[in-house]
Amino acid sequence: MKKEKSNNCEIKLERSDKAVTCYFTGDFIFSNSKFINSYNLKKELKGAKSLSIDFTNLLKYDSFLVSWLNVVNSYCKNKNIEFKILNISDEANQFYDFLNFQNIKEPKLKEKKSLSVAFFESFGDLIKRLISDGINFLNFLGDNLKSFSKVFWSPGSIRWEDFPNQFILIGINAVPISVLILFLIGLITGYQGALLLKDFGADIYIADAVGVSLTRELSPLMVAIIVAGRSGSAFTAEIGSMKVSEEIDALKTMGFNIQDFLVMPRMISMIISLPIIVMLANIVGILGGLVASIGTLDITMTGYFNRMQVALDFNDILSGLIKAVIFGFVIALIGCFRGMQVSGGAESVGKYTTSSVVTSIFHIILIDAVFTILFPILGI
Partner 1 sequence: MQDEIAIKVSNLSKRYGENLILENINLEIKRGSIVCIAGGSGSGKSTLLRQIIGLEEPTSGEIYIEDQKFYPSKSKESERIKKSFGVMFQMGGLIASMTLRENIELLLRTYTNLTDAQMSEIVRIKLTSVGLQGFEDFIPSEISGGMKKRASLARAMTIDPEILFFDEPSSGLDPITASSLDYLIKQLNKTLKTTMVIVTHDLESIFDIADEVFLLDTQSHTIIANGKPDVLKKSDIQIVYNFFNRKF
Listed in sequence order, the residues at least 6 apart from 370 whose beta carbon sits closer than 8 Å to its beta carbon are: none
Q: What is the dihedral of CA 364, 370, 376, 380, to 10 degrees?
A: -40
- Residue 115 makes contact with partner 1 by CB under 8 A: no
- Residue 78 makes contact with partner 1 by CB under 8 A: no
- Residue 165 makes contact with partner 1 by CB under 8 A: no
The minimum distance between CB 348 and partner 1, in angstroms, equals 7
- Rounded distance, CA 117 to CA 349, Å? 30
- Rounded distance, CA 8 to CA 10, Å? 7
| H/E element, 154 | none
Pick from 85, 99, 184, 280 the residue near partner 1 by CB under 8 A. 99
- Residue 68 makes contact with partner 1 by CB under 8 A: yes
Pick from 2, 56, 57, 71 the residue near partner 1 by CB under 8 A. 71
The minimum distance between CB 66 and partner 1, in angstroms, equals 6
**Which residues inside 31-50 make contact with partner 1, applying CB under 8 A?**
31, 33-34, 37
30-38, 40-48, 50-58, 193-201 -> range binding partner 1 (CB under 8 A): 30-38
The minimum distance between CB 136 and partner 1, in angstroms, equals 19
- Residue 127 makes contact with partner 1 by CB under 8 A: no
Task: Please check whether residue 355 is in contact with residue 233, taking contact to mean a CB–CB distance below 8 angstroms.
Answer: no
Which CB, 100 or 139, lies closer to partner 1? Answer: 100
- Residue 245 makes contact with partner 1 by CB under 8 A: no
2-10, 66-74, 120-128, 166-174 -> range binding partner 1 (CB under 8 A): 66-74
61-69, 81-89, 155-163, 281-289 -> range binding partner 1 (CB under 8 A): 61-69
104-112, 158-166, 273-281, 364-372 -> range binding partner 1 (CB under 8 A): 104-112
Write each residue from 285 to 324 as x if it is in contact with partner 1 (CB under 8 A), else as -, in one continuous string.
----------------------------------------
Secondary structure of the chain: what % helix, strand, coil (to 5)? 75, 10, 15
DSSP code, position 257: -
- Residue 365 makes contact with partner 1 by CB under 8 A: no
Which CB, 122 or 192, lies closer to partner 1? Answer: 122
Angstrom distances, CA of residue 131 to CA of 74, 137, 202: 47, 10, 53
- Rounded distance, CA 21 to CA 155, Å? 86
Give burial (CB, 10 Å; 0-12/13-18/19+) of 347: exposed
- Rounded distance, CA 262 to CA 157, Å? 12
Task: Please check whether residue 208 is in contact with residue 311, taking contact to mean a CB–CB distance below 8 angstroms.
Answer: yes
Which CB, 35 or 375, lies closer to partner 1? Answer: 35
Q: Which of 201, 180, 192 is nearest to 292 (CA)?
A: 192
Q: Which of 103, 170, 175, 219 is nearest to 335 (CA)?
A: 170
Task: Please check whether residue 279 is in contact with residue 215, taking contact to mean a CB–CB distance below 8 angstroms.
Answer: no
Pick from 7, 56, 57, 67 the residue near partner 1 by CB under 8 A. 67
- Residue 117 makes contact with partner 1 by CB under 8 A: no
Angle between helices 163-170 and 264-296 (to 10 degrees): 30
Which CB, 164 or 344, lies closer to partner 1? Answer: 344
Q: Contact residues for partner 1 (CB under 8 A)?
A: 29-31, 33-34, 37, 62-64, 66-68, 70-71, 94-95, 98-100, 102-105, 107-110, 343-348
